[in-house]
């Protein structure tokens, strides 16, 4: 977690601090080493959100594009009897989830069903073959109009299959500081559903999305 309650104030992890988890009210301690991004951890090793996962620099960098008061919003899940931490919830109640690690299809579908009004932002450089696969598949994109929309017959040749059946927009970030080519890429949004048997994809700039 990025934030804990210290004297009832949302506070980022700092060496020597102790706090309380905003979701479950259990004690947490600041972890401020050199191997992982600074964060708060539950003293009891309990994870109060079953969807929680370690945060990366990529993850934190994306969240920093948005106001702090929009980040790490706890939302109650009455059916599961727990709270889930939305990475970002905007002032219009749009949920933005940033996903770097592998996610099981069942969990992806559960998050989409719970948040409903949401989009994914996926790290398109997690696996070495992801960006080369996209570049090869992009050759078959066909423009639709003049507003950055494209259709493609076989989206599985462009994107990881884990995201092809998503019920919400999935935005792929192919920016990689180690690759000059990927830095030229816009964000690519795979829209849910199909137009006939075609997938519809939209190119958008980082600035436009943020």
> Can you give the pLDDT at residue 182?
55
What are the angstrom distances between the C-alpha of 142 and each of 71, 137, 145, 146, 200? 37, 11, 10, 11, 10
Contacts 24+ apart (CB under 8 A), 46-50: 48/21, 48/23, 48/24, 48/82, 48/83, 49/23, 49/82, 49/83, 49/84, 49/85, 50/80, 50/82
Q: Sign of dihedral through CA atoms 25, 26, 30, 33?
A: negative
CA nearest to 112, candidates 66, 169, 43, 67: 169
pLDDT digits (tens), the chain, 210 positions:
778 878 888 888 888 888 888 777 788 788 877 667 777 777 776 667 778 777 888 988 999 999 999 999 989 888 877 789 899 999 999 999 999 999 999 999 999 999 999 999 999 998 889 999 999 999 999 999 878 899 999 999 999 999 999 999 999 999 875 555 656 789 999 999 988 889 999 999 999 999
Can you read off the two tokens belonging to residue 18?
A: 């102790």
Spatial distance between the Cα atoms of 145 and 205, rounded to a whole number of angstroms = 18
The pLDDT value given to residue 22? 78
Is this prediction's pTM over 0.85? Answer: no
Which pLDDT score, from 0 to 100, does residue 180 have? Answer: 58
């Amino acid at each position: 977690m990025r934030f804990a309650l210290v004297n009832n104030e949302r506070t980022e992890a700092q060496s020597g601090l102790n706090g309380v988890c905003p979701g479950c009210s259990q004690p947490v301690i600041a972890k401020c080493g050199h191997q992982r991004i600074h964060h708060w951890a539950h003293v009891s090793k309990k994870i109060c959100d079953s969807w929680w996962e370690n945060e990366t620099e990529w993850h934190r960098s994306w969240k920093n594009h948005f106001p702090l008061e929009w980040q790490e919003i706890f939302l109650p899940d009455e059916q599961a009897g727990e709270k889930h931490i939305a990475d970002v919830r905007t002032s219009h109640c749009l949920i933005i989830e940033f996903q770097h690690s592998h996610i099981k299809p069942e969990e992806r579908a559960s998050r989409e069903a719970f948040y409903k009004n949401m989009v994914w932002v996926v790290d398109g450089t997690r696996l070495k073959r992801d960006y080369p696969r996209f570049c090869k598949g992009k050759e078959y994109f066909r423009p639709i109009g003049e507003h950055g929309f494209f259709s493609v017959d076989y989206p599985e040749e462009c994107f990881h299959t884990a995201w092809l059946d998503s019920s919400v927009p999935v935005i792929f970030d192919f920016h990689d500081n180690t690759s000059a080519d990927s830095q030229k890429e816009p964000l690519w949004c795979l829209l849910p559903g199909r137009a006939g048997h075609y997938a519809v994809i939209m190119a958008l700039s980082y600035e436009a999305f943020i």
